[in-house]
Chain A
Amino acid sequence: MTATGEPPVPDVIRCHVVAEDAEALRRFVRETRPDLGCRPVARPGRDGVATEVYFRQDRLDAAMAARSADRVTVTAVENVTENWRARVEEVGTGDRFATRDAVPHGLGRKE
């Protein structure tokens, strides 16, 4: 169980998908229904049209075996859940700006 009492969900894998054209990519997405990230942006690349999508680990094999997958190349890039477990350690705890004299400073060089 997680801290909020929700059952654990399988890890999520970020995948780079390249298709020969946008229609092949759409067909793959229609069949496998991945999480398309913030916006469904596809970019032309050397080998066709590319995008990044997110599959749950337990659905990745099925997605790669999908009928429409023969016209796309799917490459697992990152286990985003594993990355998140490390990043959570880098989130502020409490409130660093709780007191009146704690003024935030930005990352820009004042010069």
Chain B
Amino acid sequence: MYLNATEIDSAVGRLHDAYPEVTELLTASRPTHEGRPLRLLRVGTPHDGASPGILLLGGVHAREWVPPDALVSLAADLLEAWHRGTGLGYGSAVFTAAQVRSVVEGVDLFVFPCVNPDGRAHSQTASAMWRKNRRPAPPGATDPSCAGVDLNRNFDFLWDHTAKFAPDADVHTSDRPCDPQVYRGPAAASEPETRSVVEVLDGRPGIRWLVDVHSAVPVILHHWGSDRNQTTDPDQNFRNPGLDAVRGRPDDGTGEYIAPDDLRTAVDLAGRMSGAVRAVRGGEYGVEPSYGLYPTSGTSDDYAYSRHLSRPGASKVFGWTIECGTTFQPAVEEAGQVVREVCAALLALALAVPRTP
């Protein structure tokens, strides 16, 4: 059975109750528009903040039902296996007891299984294809589509697409509240759910890695989503206003700069995740830059990575989006297989990241 929004929050609380010595419960300062708490679980033995941190997000898009279940499953598996001194198996992917120990005792996993619980509740009871959060519609609007903000277009990274992109770049976002899918919100980070993610990144500078788990394609995406990557001209970057009139066009000879070493790291670690997925049951999650058919703005992964470039003193946080499985709402048996793929991928990442932050 899929977890409902209430159960996801309860599951996080129960895991903390059961394993208080290796978990910490974090609650965002603001609840959602419908009053649900936003809670996440840090999994990892207590320490002085010296472990590298990985922030795992799920449920940002309401209709993508599998990722929250996958993250709850991962946290529960790691804690139980660590407690019992066993390894973990997902299909043909096998992790030893020593590897489980290495993750729980050497990494801080910040597991935020459901960033958008209001949306999930709506999608699981009323509206199959609901994607946004449940911000109330503007006064006077009667179309149900006018409620909600696409949280993955609400982060403070090139958020104002009308000012920051070429007019013909067709950025996959919208400034119209009644856009049923990709309304960016009234301001950058306007939403409590978005702010809850920002709070974690602000408050836990040990976090160096972020994986936002979505569905479906499947594919593993790395930066950037705003334009084609280029590794030769550091001046062509998201902070350069001189590019505002041309940013986002597919083949115009300009692109977003990414340092060659960072690109290598992003691709290598994505490759580790992809390999772990394959080990489960042979599935192929390719590795690609986020910029696909169109540019995106305001996404969590690009925002996380952009912070060290736009805020003095901010940690460098690599970000990926895993688009798991092939459909938003697979039957539970298939959902279970996708959960295993996601768990194996994230464990492989946690094993591969350097132990010194």
B is a partner of A: yes
The residues of B that contact A3 with a CB separation of less than 8 Å are 125-126
Q: Does A46 contact B (CB under 8 A)?
A: no
User: By DSSP majority rule, is chain B's interface helix, strand, loop, or mixed?
Assistant: mixed
CB distance from B231 to the nearest CB of A (A): 22
A6 touches B90 (CB 8 A): no
Using A106-B76, A108-B73 as known contacts, say yes or no to A92 and B1 having CB atoms under 8 A apart: yes
Number of interchain pairs (Cβ within 8 Å): 179
Taking a contact as CB atoms closer than 8 A, the residue among A22, A81, A92 that contacts B7 in the complex is A92
CB distance from A111 to the nearest CB of B (A): 5
Give the distance in Å from the alpha carbon of A108 to the alpha carbon of B94 in the complex. 9
A2 touches B127 (CB 8 A): yes
Using A35-B129, A80-B329, A100-B17 as known contacts, say yes or no to A95 and B6 having CB atoms under 8 A apart: yes
B1 touches A90 (CB 8 A): yes
- In the assembled complex, 30 residue pairs joining A and B whose CB atoms fall closer than 8 Å, in A order, are A2-B127, A25-B293, A26-B293, A29-B293, A37-B216, A38-B64, A39-B323, A54-B129, A80-B328, A83-B327, A84-B329, A87-B329, A90-B1, A90-B331, A91-B4, A92-B2, A93-B4, A94-B6, A95-B4, A95-B6, A96-B10, A98-B10, A102-B10, A106-B77, A107-B77, A108-B90, A108-B343, A109-B90, A110-B80, A110-B81
A104 touches B76 (CB 8 A): yes
Give the distance in Å from the alpha carbon of A91 to the alpha carbon of B332 in the complex. 9
Q: Does B61 contact A (CB under 8 A)?
A: yes
Instruction: Select from chain B the residue with minimum beta-carbon distance to A87.
Output: B329
Q: Give the number of chain A interface residues (Cβ < 8 Å).
A: 54
Q: Does B104 contact A (CB under 8 A)?
A: no
The interface centre, meaning the residue of B94, B124, B321 with most chain A CB atoms within 10 A of its CB, is B124
The residues of A that contact B250 with a CB separation of less than 8 Å are 22
The residues of B that contact A32 with a CB separation of less than 8 Å are none
Taking a contact as CB atoms closer than 8 A, the residue among B18, B84, B127, B221 that contacts A6 in the complex is B127
The residues of B that contact A9 with a CB separation of less than 8 Å are 127, 144
Which B residues, 122 to 177, have Cβ-Cβ distances below 8 Å to chain A? Answer: 122, 124-129, 144, 170, 172
Give the distance in Å from the alpha carbon of A9 to the alpha carbon of B143 in the complex. 11
CB distance from B263 to the nearest CB of A (A): 19
Give the distance in Å from the alpha carbon of A54 to the alpha carbon of B182 in the complex. 14
B15 touches A104 (CB 8 A): yes
Using A39-B172, A104-B72 as known contacts, say yes or no to A111 and B89 having CB atoms under 8 A apart: yes
Give the distance in Å from the alpha carbon of A84 to the alpha carbon of B17 in the complex. 34
Give the distance in Å from the alpha carbon of A27 to the alpha carbon of B89 in the complex. 45
A38 touches B77 (CB 8 A): no
B327 touches A26 (CB 8 A): no
A38 touches B327 (CB 8 A): no
Beyond the given pairs A41-B219, A106-B75, A107-B340, 18 more chain A to chain B contacts, judged by CB atoms under 8 angstroms and listed by A's residue number, are A6-B144, A9-B127, A25-B293, A26-B170, A26-B293, A39-B214, A42-B293, A54-B129, A80-B329, A85-B128, A87-B65, A95-B4, A98-B10, A100-B17, A104-B72, A106-B77, A110-B81, A110-B86
A104 touches B14 (CB 8 A): yes
B214 touches A108 (CB 8 A): no
The residues of A that contact B73 with a CB separation of less than 8 Å are 104, 106-108
Interface residues of B (CB under 8 A from A): 1-4, 6-7, 10-11, 13-15, 17-18, 61, 64-65, 72-78, 80-81, 84, 86-90, 94, 122, 124-129, 144, 170, 172, 180-181, 214-217, 219, 221, 225, 250, 286, 288, 290, 292-294, 296, 321, 323, 327-329, 331-332, 336, 339-340, 343
Using A38-B323, A88-B124, A97-B11 as known contacts, say yes or no to A108 and B292 having CB atoms under 8 A apart: no
The residues of B that contact A6 with a CB separation of less than 8 Å are 126-127, 144
Using A106-B74, A110-B84, A111-B87 as known contacts, say yes or no to A42 and B292 having CB atoms under 8 A apart: yes
The interface centre, meaning the residue of B2, B64, B128, B329 with most chain A CB atoms within 10 A of its CB, is B128
Using A14-B327, A87-B331, A110-B84 as known contacts, say yes or no to A96 and B321 having CB atoms under 8 A apart: no
Using A80-B328, A111-B87 as known contacts, say yes or no to A41 and B77 having CB atoms under 8 A apart: no
Using A6-B127, A38-B214, A92-B3 as known contacts, say yes or no to A105 and B76 having CB atoms under 8 A apart: yes
A108 touches B129 (CB 8 A): no
The residues of A that contact B293 with a CB separation of less than 8 Å are 22, 25-26, 29, 36, 40-42, 51
